[in-house]
Amino acid sequence: MQSTTDLNLRSFVQYDEKSHFPIQNLPLGVFEEQGKKRVGVRIGDMVLDLALLERRGFFPSLPELFNTSTLNSFLAVGRPVWTEVRATVSRLLRDDEAELRDNIELRDKALIPVENITMHMPVAIGDYTDFYSSREHATNVGTMFRGKEDALMPNWLHLPVAYHGRSSSVVLSGTPIRRPKGQVQIGSQENPVFTASRYLDFELEMGFFIGPGSELGYPIPVNSASDHIFGMVLVNDWSARDIQKWEYQPLGPFNAKNFATSISPWVVPLDALEPFHCKGPEQSPRPLPYLQAGGDMAYDIKLEVYLQNSLISQSNFKFMYWNILQQLAHHTITGCNVNPGDMMASGTISAPEETGYGSLLELTWKGTKSLVLESGEQRKFLQDDDTVTFTGWCQGQGYRVGFGEVTGKIIPALE
Q: List the catalytic residues.
A: 137
Provide the H-helix boundaries in 11-130.
50-55, 72-77, 79-93, 98-101, 104-110
Alpha-carbon gap, residue 297 to 363, rounded angstroms? 28
Query: Could you tell me if residue 404 is left (phi over 0), alpha (psi between -120 and 50 degrees) or otherwise beta?
Result: left
User: E strands within 83-188?
Assistant: 111-113, 118-120, 128-131, 162-164, 170-172, 177-178, 181-184
- The three-point CA angle 390-398-312 to 5° equals 25
Bond preceding residue 60 cis, omega within 30 of 0: no
Q: What is the dihedral of CA 253, 256, 259, 260, to 10 degrees?
A: -80
CA distances (Å), origin 94, targets 8, 11, 311: 11, 4, 35
Residue 43 and residue 257: Cα distance in Å, rounded? 34
| CA-based nearest residue to 316, from 179, 167, 206 | 206
Burial label for 151, CB within 10 Å (0-12, 13-18, 19+), is middle
3-state secondary structure of 242: helix
Determine the Cα–Cα distance for residues 238 and 256; give it in Å rounded to an integer. Answer: 8
Strand partners, 246: none
Separation between Cα atoms, residue 332 and residue 212, nearest integer Å? 13
CB–CB of 109/52 below 8 Å? Answer: yes
Nearest CA to 283 out of 248, 330, 245, 230 is that of 330
Length of the chain: 415
**Contacting residues for 28 by C-beta, under 8 A, at least 6 apart:** 39, 40, 41, 50, 71, 74, 122, 231, 266, 267, 269
Phi, psi of 227 (to 5 degrees): -70, -15
